[in-house]
Amino acid sequence: MDYLLTDEQIELRNLARKVAREKIKPIAAECDREGRFPWEIVELFRELDFFRIIVPEEYGGISGKSLDVCIVTEELSRACGGIALCLAATALGSYPIILDGTEEQKRKYLPRIANGEILTGFGLTESSAGSDAAAIKTTARREGNYYILNGTKQFITNGSVAKVYTVIAKTDPTKGTRGTSAFIVEEGYEGFSYGKKEDKMGIRASVTSELVFDNCKVPVENRIGAEGQGFIVAMRTLDKARPGVAAQAVGIAQGAFDLALEYIRTREQFGQTLSTFQGLQFMIAEMATKIEAARALIYATARMVDAGVRNISKECAMCKLLASDVAMEVTTKAVQLFGGYGYMRDYPIEKFMRDAKITQIYEGTNEIQKVVIARRLIKEGASK
Where in the sequence numbering do the catalytic residues fall?
363
Q: Which residues contact 55 (CB under 8 A, 6 or more apart)?
A: 61, 62, 63, 64, 94, 98, 110, 111, 113, 114
**108: exposed, middle or buried (C-beta count within 10 Å: 0-12, 13-18, 19+)?**
middle
Enumerate helices (H) and strands (E) in the chain, giving the number of each. 11, 10
Mapped onto helix, strand or coil, the DSSP state of residue 212 is: strand
Mapped onto helix, strand or coil, the DSSP state of residue 201 is: coil
**125: exposed, middle or buried (C-beta count within 10 Å: 0-12, 13-18, 19+)?**
buried
- Of 47, 53, 56, nearest to 13 by C-alpha is 53
Report how far Cα 55 is from the mean position of its chain's Cα atoms.
Answer: 16
Residue pair 258/338 in contact by the 8 Å Cβ criterion:
no
Antiparallel, parallel or unpaired: β 208-219 and 146-157 = antiparallel
In terms of DSSP H, where are the helices of 138-277? 230-266
Dihedrals phi, psi of 203, to nearest 5 degrees: 35, 50
| Angstrom distance (rounded) from CA 370 to CA 317 | 7
Give one word for 188, left, alpha or beta, with left for phi > 0 and alpha for psi -120 to 50: left
Residue pair 356/81 in contact by the 8 Å Cβ criterion:
yes
